[in-house]
A and B are shown apart, each in its own frame.
Chain A
Amino acid sequence: MRLPTGLVSRPMSILGTRVVRTEDPVFLTRGATYTDDLTDERLTGALHVTLVRSPLAHATINSIDVEEARNAPGVVAVFTGADCDIAPALLFPAANKKMLRPFLATDRVRYVGEAVAAVLTEEAYQGEDAADLVDVDYEPLDAVVDMKEALKDEVLLFPEAGTNSVTAMHLNKEEPGDDFFADCEVVVSREIVNQRVAAAPLETRAASAYWGEDGRCTIFCSTQNAQSARDEVAGWLGMDAKDLRLILPDVGGGFGAKIGADPEFALVAWLSKKVGRPVRWNESRSENMTGMVQGRAQLQTITIGGDRDGTVKAYRLDVVADAGAYPRLGVALPMFTRMMAPGTYDIPKVWSTAQVVATTTTSTAAYRGAGRPEATQAIERAMDLFADEIGMDPAELRKKNVVKPEQFPFTTKGGAEYDTGEYAKAIDLACEAANYEGLRAEQARRRERGDALQLGIGVSSYVEITGGGAFVENATVQVHADGTVTVLTGTSPHGQGHATAWAMLASEELGIPVEKITVKHGDTDLIPTGAGTMGSRSLQTGGVAVHNAAVELVELAKQRAADVLEASIDDLELDKATGSIVVKGAPGAKSVSLADLAGTEELKVFHEWDAKKPSFPFGAHVAVVEVDVESGKATVERIWALDDAGPILNPLIFDGQRHGGIAQGIAQAMLEEVVFDPEGQPLTATFADYGIPSAAELPSFDLVTMETPTTINSMGYKGVGEAGTIGSCPAVQNAVIDAVSHLGVRHIDMPLTPVRVWTAIKEAQEATR
């Protein structure tokens, strides 16, 4: 049976049960309504925005001639940077203050895809034609794509900044000293690449805007957090946030890349005001593959030291992170990489540092895991390198060094306070499910025989941080006189099933069935505050807020029922079978339903929950790959994933989150990489070039269940959205390298394409010859 049920038993409860999604009937009949699908009357007569984007990575702009475009069929207006009075913005506060991003480029472009002009047309196709007629005279400058080259400051993106270095926030004041590894019998060090990848949600970026007669602007857009996006756009436009309303239709995936607002959202609002008509913008995929923020992009030097008995004593991580052309959230993510550097291990000495550098490429920001997968990949590669060096089984090495259950709460050398965990047990359970011993025996047989198809077994042990970005979230629960319930949440689902999950949480406390509960989100007038959905935060913040609000609502109902029923509040309870307040132990006595109470007076509770802390889900993955040593072709055959994120609210949704995460981790390990040539030209700007896996490149996944509650909230919930990605990627990379380690290969950078694996085998053979 592949579908685990909740192990933490809750008799007679909907929590932990497999509830199919309430979202789905609409999604599977008329389809979801994404921003570009809107037929909202406020957008009637909207003009289409087509952005003219730079074909060069680095150039000065001599002139822009828009006359021909202006006269093209259907064109209503064309704007360039010279027309645009939105002040260039610093897109991340901790970045160098001179690294400002214009909303339309003026004198210089800094990456392929930067917007230089906006064409507004009656029909979308007219915009594509007219955009081709905008004549931009560029003077090419040298591009700088390589992070180490950029650090030399020979080619500067922002001459006024005098440097490509973006921030000093991740630098340590002191070096660790020469004796850092002095007590280690064995020290292994190597540079590894955590390559740049694209989030590539299937729905590209989109925004529509109109201005009401009251002077307020409404933006419909695709984002993961309406309220923060509203504040960002208001800041850029110099508006009071009260004059701006963001409405999120359905959002077609985000994976971190839709956190906050994109500059285009503000531009769309500005354009709408300028022309006095509603406007719509929906980018193409090739625009998305250069314009949407990308993830990872770290160059890491890992150094690990310890003794031959398998005791790891010291670990050092030196990171260079690529900010891309205009620094955004990517500037901050090495903070998580450094915090999570020691992983699940109790290492006495840990030291890390990170430099962030601007390059003439697409900006970087969050992608599923956002800084934590980079930490896990680094330490998990380090553990395998160390295991190889001392000749110890990698699973055994891990178990020997993990934090022990009795050490929790455990403050790490990275500065994190791990709440709860049983790391060795997770490794044991995953290995047991995979028949680890059997796999090793099969591997030994194939090595003995010298088979062309070699078996590789990769283990990862991971801990991550969820709800780490924003601890506060709110919920409103209201029971209506007709017995239905409305839940308002500050979270912002885009596939995570909050409509179902939050309804389950409310139903559990109110005794009102899920079918009668409507969950609303993503309208800043209806829900003015909230932090959205990112960093696997939603359940442990927003979900707990819904639970708390529902509990409070029942208390409020009891207070009111005490008057109606002429009973002491202490004698009352909610009968969950009927959704009514009844007198305890007095069946048949008078009762009053929540709906009836709501008919007399509004029955509504707003609750703001401050988790105060993040939580630390953990797990272990075991991947099995086959590598054809003659061709270098590696195939992921199986993966066993244990992801412990506390009690499971809905196993269907929980496992779905894991599946998607596991797939994205495998995809980074095996297939995906955003590539720029030395001139900064993107070579992976379409889905024909970028390696998103299809069903045919992936196996089904074997899930192992374990539920260790957190201590930071009453429900024990941690987050699971990013877990699969964080666990699977290192397990798969380790597996492929393990398959060829007997040939002398110690490391291969991702993605593990046939040519890379084949080259690594050849180089190892030549080195030993």
Chain B
Amino acid sequence: MKVEITVNGEHTSHDVEPRTLLAHYLRENLGLKATNIGCDTTSCGACTVLVDGEAVKSCTVLAVQADQQTVTTMEGLDGAAKGELGHPVTKAFRQEHGLQCGFCTPGMVMAAVSLIEENPDLTEKDVREGLEGNLCRCTGYHNIVRAVLVAAGKDPDAAQAAEAVSDERTTAPGFSTGEGDK
């Protein structure tokens, strides 16, 4: 099947197997290898990209579903084509050491771009819950959270200090808090 997808501002078109995932389209058809695949259950988020501006796990979308839409990967962020950190999120990830092995990074960065877009007034808790669908095995998230707060224009020290003494439960949405229906 033929698909036409605008990727990082460029028009792309290929004949693909109907079952081709968007992640595979980006990696194999377009050679955009920043987008990584870390699991087969939509759990890790390493493949997160923006589809029409919204964060989507590209391993869970068929390329044909993205037909006639606009996709942005980390390679499409400001400065990236020139190898420069021109985007507030990528800048902050470097400044705050929000990456180690780098595998979760492209997906984490795109999830963060979308999160800040949706809610610029982020607290630490908002960031942690907002990134729940993106797994990192290296950083313990501490510096990723800081990077996202910095990119959102927050003071990460103040935000982390406030969260540390907050009585609000730090439990992922949708998980049992052990408090019944309260």
Interface residues of B in 95-140 (CB under 8 A from A): 95, 97, 99-106, 109, 124, 127-129, 131-140
For residue A652, which residues in chain B have a CB less than 8 angstroms away from its CB? 97
For residue A656, which residues in chain B have a CB less than 8 angstroms away from its CB? 97, 100, 138-139, 143
Cβ contacts A2-39/B at 8 Å (1 or 0 each): 10000000000000000011011111111111100101
Q: A687-B44, A700-B160 are in contact. Are A252 and B103 (CB under 8 A)?
A: yes
Contact A695 B141 (CB under 8 A): yes
Contact B141 A25 (CB under 8 A): no
Contact B43 A29 (CB under 8 A): no
Contact B33 A26 (CB under 8 A): no
Cβ contacts B26-49/A at 8 Å (1 or 0 each): 010001011110111111101000
| Any B CB within 8 A of the CB of A494 | yes
| Any A CB within 8 A of the CB of B83 | yes
Contact A659 B140 (CB under 8 A): yes
Contact B137 A699 (CB under 8 A): no
Nearest A residue to B35 via CB reads: A31
Contact B139 A692 (CB under 8 A): no
For residue A688, which residues in chain B have a CB less than 8 angstroms away from its CB? 41-43
| Any A CB within 8 A of the CB of B5 | no
Least CB distance from A687 to B in Å reads 4
Nearest B residue to A631 via CB reads: B178
Contact A701 B94 (CB under 8 A): no
Option from B27, B85, B132, B170 in Cβ contact (under 8 Å) with A699: B170
Contact B137 A201 (CB under 8 A): yes
- Between B27, B38, B137, B164, the greatest number of chain A beta carbons within 10 A of the residue's beta carbon is seen for B137
Contact A660 B100 (CB under 8 A): yes
Contact B137 A202 (CB under 8 A): yes
Contact A286 B40 (CB under 8 A): yes
In Å, the complex CA distance between A692 and B172 comes to 13
Least CB distance from A158 to B in Å reads 32
| Any A CB within 8 A of the CB of B19 | yes
Option from B39, B140, B160, B178 in Cβ contact (under 8 Å) with A754: B178
Q: A202-B46, A660-B139, A696-B129 are in contact. Are A28 and B178 (CB under 8 A)?
A: no
For residue A191, which residues in chain B have a CB less than 8 angstroms away from its CB? none
Nearest B residue to A687 via CB reads: B43
| Any B CB within 8 A of the CB of A722 | no
| Any B CB within 8 A of the CB of A697 | yes
Contact B128 A696 (CB under 8 A): yes
| Any A CB within 8 A of the CB of B74 | yes
Q: A29-B79, A638-B164 are in contact. Are A663 and B140 (CB under 8 A)?
A: yes
Nearest A residue to B44 via CB reads: A687
| Any A CB within 8 A of the CB of B12 | no
Number of A-B contacts (CB under 8 A): 222
For residue B84, which residues in chain A have a CB less than 8 angstroms away from its CB? 25, 29
Interface residues of A in 238-260 (CB under 8 A from B): 250-253, 255
Nearest B residue to A698 via CB reads: B141
In Å, the complex CA distance between A664 and B135 comes to 12
Q: How large is the interface on A (under 10, 10 to 19, 20 to 34, 35 or more residues)?
A: 35 or more
Contact B40 A25 (CB under 8 A): no
- Between B19, B77, B106, the greatest number of chain A beta carbons within 10 A of the residue's beta carbon is seen for B106
Least CB distance from A496 to B in Å reads 7
| Any A CB within 8 A of the CB of B11 | no
In Å, the complex CA distance between A697 and B134 comes to 12
In Å, the complex CA distance between A438 and B64 comes to 59
In Å, the complex CA distance between A1 and B179 comes to 35
Contact B101 A201 (CB under 8 A): yes
Interface residues of A in 624-657 (CB under 8 A from B): 628, 630-633, 635, 637-638, 652-653, 655-656
For residue A664, which residues in chain B have a CB less than 8 angstroms away from its CB? 137, 140
Q: A125-B19, A686-B40 are in contact. Are A31 and B178 (CB under 8 A)?
A: no
In Å, the complex CA distance between A1 and B175 comes to 32
Cβ contacts A245-288/B at 8 Å (1 or 0 each): 00000111101000000000000000000000000000011100
Nearest B residue to A252 via CB reads: B103
Contact B38 A24 (CB under 8 A): no
In Å, the complex CA distance between A185 and B93 comes to 56
Q: A495-B101, A660-B139 are in contact. Are A2 and B83 (CB under 8 A)?
A: no
Least CB distance from B50 to A in Å reads 15
| Any B CB within 8 A of the CB of A694 | yes
Q: A628-B178, A695-B145 are in contact. Are A202 and B132 (CB under 8 A)?
A: no
Option from B46, B144, B169 in Cβ contact (under 8 Å) with A695: B144
Contact A251 B164 (CB under 8 A): no
Least CB distance from A50 to B in Å reads 14
Contact A285 B36 (CB under 8 A): no
For residue B74, which residues in chain A have a CB less than 8 angstroms away from its CB? 28-29, 31
For residue A699, which residues in chain B have a CB less than 8 angstroms away from its CB? 163-164, 170
Cβ contacts B159-178/A at 8 Å (1 or 0 each): 01001100001111101111
Contact B170 A635 (CB under 8 A): yes
Cβ contacts A39-53/B at 8 Å (1 or 0 each): 100000000000000
Contact B99 A285 (CB under 8 A): no
Cβ contacts A654-695/B at 8 Å (1 or 0 each): 011001111110000000000000000000001110001011
Option from A125, A202, A663 in Cβ contact (under 8 Å) with B36: A202
Contact A495 B170 (CB under 8 A): no
Cβ contacts A487-508/B at 8 Å (1 or 0 each): 0000000111100000000000
Least CB distance from B171 to A in Å reads 7
For residue B102, which residues in chain A have a CB less than 8 angstroms away from its CB? 23, 27, 31-32, 250, 252, 495
Least CB distance from A642 to B in Å reads 16
Nearest B residue to A703 via CB reads: B142
For residue B180, which residues in chain A have a CB less than 8 angstroms away from its CB? 631
Least CB distance from A729 to B in Å reads 13
Least CB distance from A359 to B in Å reads 26
Option from B40, B140, B178 in Cβ contact (under 8 Å) with A285: B40
Option from A39, A255, A637 in Cβ contact (under 8 Å) with B137: A255
Least CB distance from A532 to B in Å reads 15
Least CB distance from B72 to A in Å reads 14
- Between B27, B90, B102, the greatest number of chain A beta carbons within 10 A of the residue's beta carbon is seen for B102
| Any B CB within 8 A of the CB of A200 | yes
Least CB distance from A195 to B in Å reads 18
| Any A CB within 8 A of the CB of B17 | yes
**Can you show 9 pairs from A to B with CB atoms below 8 A apart?**
A20-B97, A29-B77, A29-B84, A34-B36, A39-B31, A250-B101, A653-B97, A696-B170, A696-B173
List 13 additional A-B contacts (Cβ < 8 Å) besides A631-B179, A696-B128: A20-B97, A28-B80, A31-B36, A201-B137, A495-B100, A630-B178, A655-B97, A656-B100, A659-B140, A660-B139, A686-B39, A694-B133, A696-B173
**Which 3 residue pairs spanning A and B have beta carbons closest together?**
A31-B34, A663-B140, A633-B178
